[in-house]
Each structure stands twice: as C-alpha cells, then as structure tokens.
Amino acid sequence: MRKLGSETLVIATHNAGKLKEIGALLAPYGMNCISAGSLGLPEPAETGKTFAENALIKARAAAESSGLPSLADDSGLCVDALGGRPGVYTADWAQRQWFEGPPGRDWFMAMGKVEGFLAELGAEADRGCHFACVLAIAWPDGDSAVYEGRVLGSLTWPPHGKMGFGYDPVFVPNGDTRTFAEHDPEEKHRISHRAAAFARLVAEQFGA
C-alpha cells in the first residue's frame, strides 16, 4: 500500500472548520494540510452511488487539479428499515425547496422526514441505524486508498440535545442512552464514524 510522506496534503473541502479538524488529526504525523478552497479549486459534482465513490470523486478532482496528494471524506446516516437511506443523500434530505423557505439546509426537517418514513412503517419498525464515513486519499498519478468507519446506534424521537449537528439529536450510539447531540464534542469525536475511519487511515499510512 502506498504511503503518504511528510508532504503537503490537500483536504478536498471549502469548509474551514473541516480543514481545521482534519489538519489537527494529521498534524502529529508531519502533514501540512491546505484546503481545496484556499487553492481556488472547483467543487466537483458528487454523482457517486456510495460514500466511497463520492469521496474518491472529490479526492481525485483535488489531486488532479493541484498536483498534490489529496484527502476527501463523505459521510451520512443509514437507516436499516429504510434500506440504508438517506445514505449518500443525507445532506440532500435537509435541503430546502423553494417553497420551504430561504435557501439552505434544515436539519430538523430532515430528521422529521426520517421519522415520518419510520412512522409509515408502524410502531414496530426497526429503528437501528449507523453513521458511516469514508475517507479517500488520491495521488496525482491515479493511485488511491479508501478507509471506512462506522458507529452503530438507533434513532429516537423527539430530538434531544443542543450540541453536534445534522442528525445528531436523534442518533443514540449503541451502549449509551444519550444522543450524539447530548455528548461533549470531544467525547463524540472519540467514538464517531469519522474517528473510526481516521484510526484505520493512521494505522495503515503511519503505522500508529
């Protein structure tokens, strides 16, 4: 398996918060992280049918445009009773339509959409689910590597907690009674799907 060296790594995001989070995780391994946004790189269309496909689309686009190794992630909520939906469309389910208000994402609406589909299945519907995260590294010459992490849990209703984001207020990780939105951020990060994916990446790339 190809390894990253002590080189500049492009994080395929235009989100400063995500750059900061990923950069901090990789700093101990000598990686200098810069964002695709800071380089003025365009955001590719995420046309994949899986998290891995979308992560690779973003990583490869950044690597080809920058000439540097690049890292991208794709993540979402997968509900067992809904056949794995919303899955790669996790963020799309929160996207407001023109008749629903100002442009942007409404996560309470998205949580309500999931709950509504479960309600249609009846009171005995399986509420099991998981959050998934896929990290993809791509090199300019076409090499790539993919790492997946998951955290298993179940859905609760109504939402609880004010921390976290997205579907966190309705997701209860297995072995706990609190939603992710009721976890301290550092506690959540230790057990999250992104943490699990990063653990696999670090173990393979840096032997840690």
DSSP string, 167-191: TGGGEEETT-SS-GGGS-HHHHHHH
pLDDT of residue 106: 84
pLDDT of residue 101: 62
- Mode of pairing for the β-strands spanning 8-11 and 32-35: parallel
Q: Which of 74, 80, 168, 184 is catalytic?
A: 74
Strand ranges (DSSP E) for 95-176? 128-138, 144-155, 171-173
The question of whether 74 is a catalytic residue gets the answer yes
pLDDT of residue 29: 86
Residues in a beta bridge with 146 = 136
Q: Give the residue extent of every domain in the chain.
A: 8-200
| 3.40.630.30, 2.60.40.420, 3.90.950.10, 3.30.70.3270: CATH of 8-200 | 3.90.950.10
Residues in a beta bridge with 34 = 10
pLDDT tens for the chain, 208 residues: list them.
788 876 789 999 887 777 887 888 888 888 889 999 899 998 898 899 999 999 999 999 999 999 999 999 999 999 999 999 999 999 888 887 655 566 667 888 999 999 999 999 998 999 999 999 999 999 999 999 999 999 999 999 999 998 878 899 999 999 999 999 999 888 888 898 988 999 999 999 888 6
Report the candidate in 28, 36, 22, 25 with the shortest Cα–Cα distance to residue 68: 36
Distances (CA, A) of 143 to 71, 126, 140, 196: 12, 40, 7, 23
pLDDT of residue 34: 92
